[in-house]
A and B are shown apart, each in its own frame.
Chain A
Amino acid sequence: MKFQPVIPKTRHRHGTALRVAIIGGAGLFLFTVLFFRLWSLQVVTGDEYLAEATENRTREIRVRPPRGRILDRDGEVLVDNRTSMALQLDPVEVPTEIPARRKLFSSVADLMDRDLDWVRKRYRTEVEDNPPGSPVTLASDVDDGLVFYLQEHQAEFPEVQVNRVFVRKYPRGFEAAHLLGSVGDVTADDLETTDDPDIQCGDVLGKAGIEQTYDETLRGTAGTTKYQVDSTGRVKGQLTSETPKPGDTLRLTLNQDVQTAGEAALSSIGLPGGFVAMDVNSGEILGMGSAPTFDPDIFTRPLTQNQVDDLYDEDLGAPLFNRAISGAYPVGSIYKPFTAIAALDAGEISANDVIQDGGQVEIADQVFTNAGKQPHGPVDLRRSLEVSSDVYYYLLGAKLNGTNKLQKWSDRFGIGRMTGIDLPGESAGFLPSKAAINKRDREEPNNPFAVPWVIGDNIQLAIGQGSLQADPLQMAVAYSALGNGGTVYKPRLVKQTEDSAGRVLAETEPEVARQIPIDPGAREVIMGGLHDAAQEPEGTSYGVFGGFPIPVAGKTGTAERPPNGDQAWYAVLAPYPDPEIVVITTIEQGGFGADTAAPVALQILSAYFDKQAKAVSGGTGAVE
């Protein structure tokens, strides 16, 4: 007998080894898959997932900077910032089920002392305009009581937030409202059209005026604060923070005295109108206004539909409309200097040629009359401007028909084309020419007023009538070119940009759009005629400017604008004969130019020279 180890015999049936191998092979395959997957996930693409994990646990909160301020030429603040408590709803939190949503809205309505419909409408319009996911502002300038109440009862209103936001502040009220423009929340459209990656949901953008043109300068750069959060969004600590950079300050070219006087004088007329005061030798806008005007402060709160309607209401004079750059009107007799220059250049007349003005003239079987058919007797060029003889210019218009000289010179002066001012919404106007009128005739066969070009069109244009449409700014550019001897400046509103501490970052240089070859002799005669018109006893605006201490060159205009009443115009360069300022005023339905438009211009010039006198006396110590 022997105890011995037994080598295990193959107890298993045929094929078991194969089946063990198969189960083992399957296991090996599955382990290989897992190892390979683990290796590719962690070692190969680990960095991507690490970035994603980092992203996961950080929340960035955008810290919006205060928008840049806007100052006038002397550094007085026109637009500033203030903080406001805004009541906002987070659309992500707002329930989608109707009953829950109604319950939320009615509790919000109770909080705000509004009715349910108001909240619902307000929410709907805001959500439509806003980019998806951005907070919906229901009200700004929420009073402290409500703020405290909400802070205490935050748990009951998780969807309602009260956030501190920057809004615009206008220390000078209505002043320069049309120029300054307004700001508003980024809309879905804005996000689609912008190619600036810095613009994000909930930001504020310039929507009109200077705010719009110089949005990039004023906006500043938003900062971010990064927080570590857990999966429920609770903040676990602050990681990094990047402070926001406030927007830069804009210093405008506006002269406060001119602006205030202009707006006051314009509004005292009580009719819609506009004015432009510009530096003849640089294109700097010293003042610009439009009546009726509006309170820019209304844009700092959510607008009601009524407010929006009122801003555009024609019966209220469409207050939002900036007549100084967008009003397209016939300009009447203030156009005559340009007809004279064209005629002199064409050699149709010389300055001393005398025409007998009998109060009316018949050209091509049609009778053209002076205002009130008043005869002015023998008139040469200078006198034609002094007394504003229409007959004189009717004849020039007739003579220039077919030469296109009148159109060429008008275009050179910038009449009927955009000036390129740094404001949005400028109108081009319309300069009638044979080509343009006939084109319009062809394109609008059903328009009874679009008829082929006749000689009468050129005759009407010669006195700034007919189809001509221009705005006060264009006329200011044209008159300043006349005043400075032929330099057409691009008008501009911004003098310089400064950082938030007041250091000058950039100064705007005068920009010359073009030089036009005005014959100095012709200019001298025309300027003389304009001076006579303003300050000689027989001049059309002598009643207004006769006693003005500073010599000026000014022209009245009274444009027929059926079906409306006559459009009053006044264009003035001062001091004569080497002007530094041009002022253009226009009043809708203002009647004779000397009655309404000229007095406004007088107020503006008084303010301008008064300030200058003060500055000079202050400088020399001598009091006049």
Chain B
Amino acid sequence: MESSRVSRGEVGPFHHRTSLLERIGIRDMDGWLVFSALGLLACSLLTLHQGSRNAIPGSPDYYMQRQALYGLVGIVAMFLISRVDYSRFRELRVGIYTFLCTSIFAVFAFGVALRGSTNSLELPLFTFQPAELGKVLLILSLAGFVIDGARRGSKGQRTIRYLALGFAPTGLVLLQDLGTSLVFGAITIAIMVAAGVRWTHLAAIGGGLAVFIAIVLVAMPMAGAPLLKEYQQERLTSFLEPSSDIGDGGYQQNQAKVAAGSGGTTGRGDQATQSRLGFLPENHTDFIFAVVAERYGFVGAALVLSLFALLFWRALRLMTLSKNFYGTLVAAGIAAAIMFQVFVNVGMNLGIMPITGIPLPLMSYGGSAVIATFLMLGILQSIHIESRAGQRGTWIP
């Protein structure tokens, strides 16, 4: 094993012995981040194992097994990408951005419908949702553009440039999948906040968004040219008065709320009738949090939320630890993407947010989302590893 005892230290006079774990990067990884991610995946697998037994007759663990596979692929991807210096992505920003836009266009051309939205591509082995990967791509490329253009143009011009770069794919995705486009929007705003865009500009953007929402939700349908599909509109508005409409949108909202509420403090376990008897729709994807809440009660649901809070805190911490400003921006984008998805999804499960079809990161069943989230975590780990490398030792001549 002599030959394997090779480390960074060899380049200098100081020989630093490294273990195998260290060599694949475990030692330099953020342990809490790994812990929270694996904890959430475990919660997901347990919930799918116990909560979706009757979903597919004959194969009670169908979703659990598939999710475990996606998780495994994701974990491997996380380790691999954590070994890459994320700063490389900054250089590849134009290529990444082009690929992002192309993949979204590809959905328009070759997309297949899944659960009411045409947002997937049928690939030879699996169905892939480009927009999930798009979240990662948008973070990496937009942060790169911000760094690249940091010295060019006035502050106002810069703001407009970031906005245009971020909202172009956001708008394209809006035509396919409302929820994902909201995540894109949140990423764009978060990166702009972190990049130091003026508060007055941010306020103006906030005002513009409010007007835009008013136009999309109220003015355009009245003018007879609705931008949103009817089901999207219905879901968004039924949240405002859920009891008035116990059909479709209001029905799901209400059933999720009843499921979560009925869990009480310690949960109903196998007596969880809402999810077990099929009253709760999509209980392995969008509404998996309600299943957790019903089966395991406040105790279980609060544990899941705490794991997310831990994850968010570690991502936030990396904003300050990052070795360069690009890392700060990327960490901001990832923290915002995860936080936004958690809030909108859990809020929807608890009846305080509209139904938008945003999955709960690492919990909701679905390969594209799980792998994309692990990619984000891999990038965060890369930021961590790079910052640790900077801290541990710098050759000072």
Contact = CB atoms under 8 A, between A and B. Distances in A.
Interface of A: 1-6, 8, 11-13, 15-17, 19-20, 22-24, 26-27, 30-31, 33-35, 37-39, 41-43, 45-50, 52-54, 56-57, 228-232, 236
Contact of A56 (B260, B279, B320, B325): B279
A2 B261 contact: no
Interface residues of B, number: 61
15 contacts: A3-B393, A6-B396, A11-B323, A16-B319, A22-B193, A23-B319, A30-B339, A31-B308, A33-B352, A38-B302, A41-B351, A43-B265, A46-B261, A57-B273, A230-B279
A19 B193 contact: yes
A56 B263 CA distance: 14
Interface string B312-332: 110010011101110010001
Interface of B is mostly: helix
Given A27-B312, A52-B262, A53-B262, A37 B352 contact: yes
Contacts of B261: 41-42, 45-46, 48-50, 52-53
B160 to A, nearest CB: 19
A16 B329 CA distance: 10
Contacts of B257: 41, 49
Among B14, B308, B309, residue most surrounded by chain A Cβ atoms (within 10 Å): B309
Interface string B250-286: 0000010111111111001000011001110000000
Contacts of B394: 6
A52 B278 contact: no
B346 interface: yes
Give the residue among A23, A35, A42, A228 with the most B Cβ atoms within 10 A.
Answer: A42
B80 to A, nearest CB: 27
B278 A232 contact: yes
A231 B390 contact: no
A477 to B, nearest CB: 59
Contact of A53 (B259, B316, B321): B259
B153 interface: no
Contacts of B226: none
B298 A43 contact: yes
B264 A27 contact: no
A232 B54 CA distance: 14
The dominant DSSP class at the A interface is helix
A6 B392 CA distance: 7
A5 B391 CA distance: 6
Contacts of A6: 390-391, 393-394, 396
B307 to A, nearest CB: 11
Given A3-B14, A35-B305, A46 B273 contact: no
A8 B390 contact: yes
Contacts of B313: 24
B277 A47 contact: no
B396 A1 contact: yes
Contact of A47 (B259, B264, B305, B332): B264
Interface string B349-369: 011100000000000000000
Nearest to A236: B277
Contacts of B323: 11
B266 to A, nearest CB: 10
Contact of B391 (A8, A34, A38): A8
- The 9 nearest A-B residue pairs measured at CB: A49-B261, A46-B264, A53-B262, A231-B278, A230-B277, A50-B262, A42-B298, A49-B262, A30-B343
